[in-house]
Amino acid sequence: MAARRKLMVAAIFLLSLHGAILFAGFVAPQDPAVQNRDFPFVPPTRLHFVDAGGRIHLRPFVYPWVARRDGLYQYEESREHEYPLHLFVPGPRYLIAGCLAAHTHLFGVEWPAQLFLAGTDNYGRDQFSRILFGGQISLAAGLLATAISLFFGLFMGCVSGFYGKWMDESAMRLAELFLVLPWLYLLLAVRSFLPLHVSSTQTFLLLVAVIGTVGWARPARLIRGVVLSTKSRKYVLASRGFGASNAYILRRHVLPHTYGILLTQAALLVPQYVIAEVTLSFFGLGLSEPMPSWGSLLASLQQYNVLVSYWWMFAPAIALVLVTIGYLSVANAFEQQLQSDSI
């Protein structure tokens, strides 16, 4: 029961993160591409419940930032007027599922106040909105690459474990080769050979294909072990004795035993592949401006003045840590659930 509860809590936490990222247009208060050149490197907007006169407000409100005259990128709050936070407000246009236009946002404030929950970058773009939209790119890369790895791993593991002999030897030697490859340096080498003039969409698909192809070996070895154990069970031998075909035995008796391995590996591989995409984009070998991803957002930290002066530029790293913890918690809870069910 404890393992099931832990799995449920971890799954709800992870689904909440994915929901916020999936509906980034609705959750984000601003358009991530809009530049506010008058507000570069603005600190995160502070939410207040007590105004300058000491009165308590039940609804949170903000004060607008204004530039100070005594320094570059120095701001202070203008406390002449409070701007309360409203829910379900009209705002910039965005697309739902890439096709349905909408203008309603989860929260926002009235103009001239602006809501920068995670501050702004050097172009005055809202970091919080860019983190949400960038998460769509980074998570999509991790999920698609994981699907590719698990597809190849399932195929190679089933073929190797079920048919054995020379197929098993060839597949496992190839898997060992992929296991010892330094995947990060391999990704950097492959990306460096790609032409620089490819579009953002082509770059994204090529990165996903390369990342997913590199990581199939470990799932394949685990699935091979499950298949070897399953194919020797009595009900499988009885099914074969009644004339069942190999395809029927694989589909009916063998593949259902691999689902637990596939789900656990998926929860472990997604954060690894998200980090791989973030790493490539951070070094300028993945997606680049103006398309946001967590790696391209963190790339500004390569500038020393940004690294030491504007702490809110680390916010994409916090989102990456939360997603990684969520997936690892789900993998750990699911593994405990499988162990408790097998006892």
- pLDDT tens digits along 156-211: 888 888 887 888 888 888 888 888 877 777 777 776 776 666 676 777 788 788 88
Identify any residues that bridge with 48 across adjacent strands, giving them in sequence order: 61
pLDDT for 304 equals 86
pTM (2 d.p.)? 0.87
Is 213 part of any domain? yes
For the residues of 268-299, what is the DSSP string, one character each?
Answer: HHHHHHHHHHHHHHHTTSS--TTS--HHHHHG
Once rounded to an integer, what is the mean pLDDT over residues 112-139?
90
Q: Please identify which residue in the block is written with the tokens 């001239």.
A: 112
Residue pair 33/133 in contact by the 8 Å Cβ criterion: no
Residue pair 168/187 in contact by the 8 Å Cβ criterion: no
Kindly state whether residues 101 and 221 are assigned to the same domain.
no
Is 26 part of any domain? no
Kindly state whether residues 191 and 79 are assigned to the same domain.
no
Is 19 part of any domain? no
Kindly state whether residues 325 and 201 are assigned to the same domain.
yes
Kindly state whether residues 61 and 144 are assigned to the same domain.
no
pLDDT for 1 equals 60
Is 194 part of any domain? yes
> Each residue of 285-306: pLDDT tens digit?
777 677 788 988 898 888 888 8
The yes-or-no verdict on residue 309 having pLDDT over 70 is yes
> Each residue of 15-55: pLDDT tens digit?
898 889 988 889 999 888 888 888 889 999 999 998 878 88
The yes-or-no verdict on residue 343 having pLDDT over 60 is no
Once rounded to an integer, what is the mean pLDDT over residues 76-103?
85
Q: How many domains does the chain have?
A: 2
**Distance between terminal CA atoms of the chain?**
13
Is 252 part of any domain? yes
Q: What is the CATH number of the domain that holds 317?
A: 1.10.3720.10
Range of the domain at 147: 131-342
Kindly state whether residues 214 and 106 are assigned to the same domain.
no
Secondary structure of the chain: what % helix, strand, coil (to 5)? 60, 10, 25
Least confidently predicted of 107-121, 141-155, 202-216: 202-216
Kindly state whether residues 64 and 205 are assigned to the same domain.
no
Is 165 part of any domain? yes
Kindly state whether residues 177 and 297 are assigned to the same domain.
yes
pLDDT for 323 equals 92
Give the side-chain half-sphere CA count within 13 A for 50. Answer: 2
pLDDT for 195 equals 66
Is 228 part of any domain? yes
